[in-house]
Structure 1
């Protein structure tokens, strides 16, 4: 406990870090306040039965409840994330975007601008679908046409405002702004979910306090398992040859390339969930024609069909995303240019093949573990845990929480170490997603 208070005291002594933390907290408070503002023209009293379950419940969790409350920021930052993913994929497939990625700061500004334009387009489309499918006509107090047009503009402006808040946190705060906004939205649902779970366990013969304690222990175990997956790396040793530069000898040291077990991060789950949303969207647009359709199996996240399909898509997307973001050939070329080589492996093509083989071997178990984490909420519901609380036992929400916390703690620790204070841990250092990536890798939007 003394170590904790000493660390907090050291954090408060660093003026820049203190200002960044306070600024971040202020922006997050503003975001949570805005989440409570209902769309103009909507009767809040008619929104009692609009709590979302299933797949829509996941969207509501990412938006911190704003989705079900019909808030002016109901769509949250998800359109911005979708736009970021599209631009990132274009940077891999389209030569002109590849060129912009290599232009440094000017190219980054162009890509950011394109991402913002695409965010407006995606938000406008999603806003129309949202107001038509998620808001009951009896809850609308004004003319429908006027409401739809006005809501489209308001929801688009709300998403752009949240995007701007995220960028401000990234620039002047601590951590990744977009990730922190999503994390705060997820955490905001935890007290309600925990209250519902406690009420359900004490209202019947479901074990009471003993079951609550066992569930908390199981949740901590799942969190620890997720941290192991997020932090797991395969260290490939690299030896750098000795060189004489002027009157100095450089090189001759051994380093390593940290190839992550889960190099794709949370992106495979996001891609897979995007596809799993399609059946629900089709049923929403054609409810009469698809009343008894087999697509209804994919609207229940606890069904075996949903879980197996979801797991298969995650494994497939993990290999796909790792293949397009981790470039063994580029890594081998960069290593060769800098006079580095893997002991026992010839530089060039042999090194590229070796790295590709290592990535393939660690990606398969990584994808399996990722799939297990993703479908754990389904098993939790089957074991009697309330669906709201079960979402914290795995899936995208847990991966985002773990990744963002590690990322933020790493940035705080870097400030401490730069000022010659002790880090956050007695032994070792906090390593998060913002560590120096292997050559040829790219960071994910979140």
Structure 2
């Protein structure tokens, strides 16, 4: 499809435009924020699992402490919050039913929410890095004395970098190929993934070759599973029957189509949400672990122990969180689409099912059944490091190779999903050109 697209001038221009935006994104990802020490940051990122996970999804921008250190994740967080608010806020619910204009207004609200979200997440990342010793030898992070101005400048610069990347992503969606936000995340993972995996694989001794072969085999199998899950769907038949008045006479029209319900409707969102939740307690515990108050310090150490990857309960909690949020977010997205109501309005119906409420209940039942597969698959990806360490004969702790597999497996879902979606869009564009040529 990509080869054929290069012979279509307009599609070729879109591909070139998309590539140009990605080049600009990678350039921005290497512009450091003032007041940081790259060598010191590189040392702490090598020893921190939490920071390593965040860094791989920023394409190495976080380790460089660049203006693009947060990527588009404040925007993703804002989108999730906004989608969760739509069923709860009557004004937003009314906007969601107004078609394209309503969705555009909700999108504007999401952009507004991204600004404070980026400021808060920017400060959180700076505090997290400081807790790991990332700003040793400097004034540090804070809003008093000599810390205030450098802290404000870093937070504002990082927030501005996020908004700039979101703008580039919107340009890709409008003038390029594919979903801009997904393309940006894809570019960040592709840029940082090979170096991370290579670094993790070749830090061990003795069993490096066997572990590398095992990792490679697992990754190939995982790609196969991802394609099956991402492409898996249940086709619900829909028939249309309506009367059309034409040329002074009434005609009866009918047709049949399908509603595709995907096994994994929500993509990587549950994984991002679950990792954000499970990282937060450990992050708070690391801040208060050095408190002068013994009660606070012991409580912080207990929290760190509970949410330590070496604890079996950590993986159980992570798996359950991913599965529960997959169901919850799937149902939220489905409710916003109003499929049953739209079908009834357009004269469509599911054969054997009455229109309206019975149709909605039927689609809900089907969606819940097929979501089990997607939810458990995402849960498997979340606990992949534990599974890999167990297969390799290790313990519950994250070894370098199991961490590499876990982060790679999470990234592969995004990479494979974006590639499949982009290829579908290119094929749709090519098919449209063929029909246009036939009509002419």
- Matching residue of 2:176: 173
Change in 2 beyond 3 A, CA 1:190/1:381: farther
Question: 1:199-210, aligned counterparts within 5 Å?
Answer: 199-200=202-203, 204-206=205-207, 208=209
CA contact (8 A) 2:57 2:192 kept: no
SS at match of 1:222: helix
Q: What is the TM-score with the length of structure 1 in the denominator?
A: 0.84
- In 2, Cα distance between the equivalents of 1:8 and 1:87? 35
CA distance in 1, matches of 2:236, 2:100: 31
Equivalent of 1:95, from 71, 81, 90?
90
Question: Is the 1:226–1:373 contact (alpha carbons within 8 Å) kept by the matching residues of 2?
Answer: no
Counterpart secondary structure, 1:256: strand
User: After superposition, what is the alpha-carbon deviation per residue over 1:178-200, rounded to whole angstroms, capped at 9, x for unaligned?
Assistant: 11111111112222134225524
Work out which of the residue numbers 19, 23, 29 in structure 1 matches 2:13. 19
Give the deviation of 1:242 after TM superposition.
Answer: 6.3
* 1: CA distance, partners of 2:108 / 2:257: 37
1:232-265: CA deviation from partner (whole Å, max 9, x where unpaired): 1111222333645435855433322212222232
Looking at structure 2, the residues matched to 255 and 105 of structure 1 have their Cα atoms a distance apart, in angstroms, of: 23
Counterpart of 1:80 in structure 2 is: 75
The equivalent residue for 1:260 is: 262
1:400 alignment partner in structure 2: 414
For residues 327-375 of structure 1, give each alpha carbon's deviation from its aligned partner in whole angstroms, at most 9, with x where no partner exists: 3994333333333332233333333332222222222233222211222
Match of 1:306 in 2: 314
- 2:32 matches 1:38: yes
| Alpha-carbon distance between aligned partners in 2 of 1:85 and 1:256, rounded to the nearest angstrom | 28
| Residues 107, 253 of structure 1: alpha-carbon distance in 2 compared, 3 angstrom cutoff | closer
Give the conservation status (yes or no) of the 8 Å contact 1:77–1:178: yes
Residues 234, 261 of structure 2: 8 Å contact kept: yes
Give the match for residue 391 of structure 1.
406
Is 1:137 aligned with 2:151?
A: no
Q: Which runs of 5+ in 2 are unaligned?
A: 141-145, 291-295, 393-398, 436-440
Q: Equivalent residue of 2:86, what SS?
A: helix
Q: Give, in whole Å, the separation in 2 of the partners of 1:173 and 1:193.
A: 29
Query: Considering only aligned residues, what root-mean-square deviation do their CA atoms show, in Å?
Result: 2.7
SS in 2 for 1:265: coil
Summarize deviations over 1:72-111 as a string: whole Å, max 9, x none. 2211111111111112222221011122223344433432
Counting only pairs closer than 5 Å after superposition, residues 13-412 of structure 1 correspond to structure 2 as 13-51=7-45, 53-135=48-130, 136-140=134-138, 143-200=146-203, 204-206=205-207, 208=209, 211-241=211-241, 243=243, 245-246=245-246, 249=251, 251-288=253-290, 289-290=296-297, 293-301=301-309, 303-327=311-335, 330-382=338-390, 383=392, 386-387=401-402, 389-395=404-410, 397-412=411-426
Deviations 1:47-93 (CA, angstroms, capped at 9, x unpaired): 33131632332211111111122112211111111111112222221
**CA distance in structure 2 between the partners assigned to 1:139 and 1:381 by the alignment:** 37
Answer yes or no: is the 8 Å Cα contact 2:385–2:403 preserved in 1. Answer: no
Answer whether contact 2:30 2:66 (CA < 8 A) is retained: yes
Separation in structure 1 between the aligned mates of residue 2 and residue 284 of structure 2, nearest angstrom: 51
Q: Does 1:413 align with 2:416?
A: no
1:377/1:16 Cα in 2 relative to 1: closer, same or farther (>3 Å)?
farther
Kept after mapping to 2: 8 A contact 1:314/1:371:
yes
Provide closer, same or farther for how the CA distance between residues 300 and 187 of structure 1 changes in structure 2, counting only shifts above 3 A. Answer: farther
Offset, 1:409: 0.9
Question: In the aligned structure 2, how far is the partner of 1:62 from the partner of 1:139?
Answer: 28
In the superposition, relative to structure 1, how do residues 183 and 301 fare at CA in structure 2: closer, same or farther (>3 Å)?
farther
> Is contact 1:80-1:163 (8 Å) kept?
yes
- Maintained 8 Å contact 2:233/2:263: yes
State how far apart, in whole Å, the 2-side matches of 1:79 and 1:345 are: 42
Contact 1:335–1:341 under 8 Å retained in 2: yes
Q: Taking structure 2 as the reference length, what is the TM-score of the superposition?
A: 0.85
Q: Are the counterparts in 1 of residues 274 and 318 from structure 2 also a CA contact under 8 Å?
A: yes
Secondary structure of 1:254's match? strand
